[in-house]
Structure 1
Amino acid sequence: MLVEHRFDDRNITWRTIEGFDHIAYHILSVDEEARIVDLLFRFAAHEKIALHRHMADYKTLVLQGELRIYRPNGELKEIRSVGSYVSAKAGGEPHTEGGGDCDAVVYFTNRDVQGPIYEILGPANEIVATFGIPEFKELLEAQSP
């Protein structure tokens, strides 16, 4: 029998952005000089976030649950279990993500950020929003007490 262990997030204040359903974030750091943004995302169980594309190199580590990756047509592409570590280059196929049977908590580190980190896409794959260092810096400042 598999025992589900939960990531202890008692000391983390999760934040959300209006209009972005099924995801919460906690920014760990924004290093403008090194061009790095580190953060945690919590993906809601059995839900999908907005269609998006990664525009900076990144690394992820699943800390809780499983992260499910979906193609733009909704087809399940990949499941990343607890402890899964991925290193990927910028670009790649647009996709959605979500949690499995429980909320997924995932550490993301975005490296060599030169412009947007994420492009949020609309129904016709048009860019409806971007998040880069300035946006994450602003969110980090708002997150601080």
Structure 2
Amino acid sequence: MTGFDERNITWRTIDGLDHIKYHVLNVDAHARIVDILFKFAANEAIALHRHMADYCTLVLDGELRLYRPNGELKEIRDVGSYVCARAGGEPHTEGGGDRDAIVYFTNRNVDGPIYEILGDNNEIVATFGIPEFQALLEGQAAEA
């Protein structure tokens, strides 16, 4: 079985956010939609966070593992898994399985932060919304 062909994707990172790479596909502020590819490192977990916008995910390669705040494995989403959820929900971490996972995220009905990155005591340490993803998209275009 061949994996997802990522040769034409330039992955980027954000300082302080370990084990994840991103590629912003589109930001439509008028429609309140942000589409992103994330690459989660194998056998690692990203920062604790909460989704603040409705979203759908599609696992394109590998498997996506979701963990509760205490580190307990909550769910495994295999390649081809398509899941939609409403904003809010339990804070969690995510990561790749035995190899990196590539996942398409489409964030809908964005009205403020899309993601709240949480600290050790569930305090908000960073947020990412339309302005931040627009800046990341512009940075990608400038480097292309």
Sort the TM-score into its range (normalised by shorter chain): over 0.9
Scaled by the length of structure 1, what TM-score is found?
Answer: 0.97
Work out the CA distance in 2 between the residues paired with 1:40 and 1:6: 15
Q: Aligned partners of 1:6 and 1:71: how far apart in 2?
A: 28
Moved over 2 A (4+): none
1:121 aligns with 2:118: yes
Identity between Structure 1 and Structure 2 (%): 77
What code does the residue aligned with 1:80 have? R
1:68-87 equivalences in 2 (<5 Å): 68-87=65-84
1:34 equivalent to 2:43? Answer no
TM-score for both structures, normalised by structure 2 = 0.98
Aligned-pair CA distance for 1:142: 0.2
Aligned counterparts of 2:137 and 2:86: Cα–Cα separation in 1? 24
The letter for the 2-side match of 1:29 is N
TM-superposed deviation, 1:6: 1.6
- Counterpart of 2:130 in structure 1 is 133
1:62 corresponds to 2:59: yes
2:21 is matched with which residue: 19, 24, 39? 24
Name the residue aligned to 1:110.
107
**Which runs of 5 or more residues in structure 2 are unaligned?**
none
Shift of 1:51: 0.1
Three-state SS of the structure 2 residue aligned to 1:17 is coil
SS of alignment partner, residue 106 of structure 1: strand
Partner residue, 1:7: 4
Secondary structure, aligned partner of 1:119: strand
CA distance in 2, matches of 1:129, 1:87: 24
SS of residue in 2 equivalent to 1:50: coil
Residue correspondences, number: 142
Q: Which amino acid aligns with 1:121?
A: L
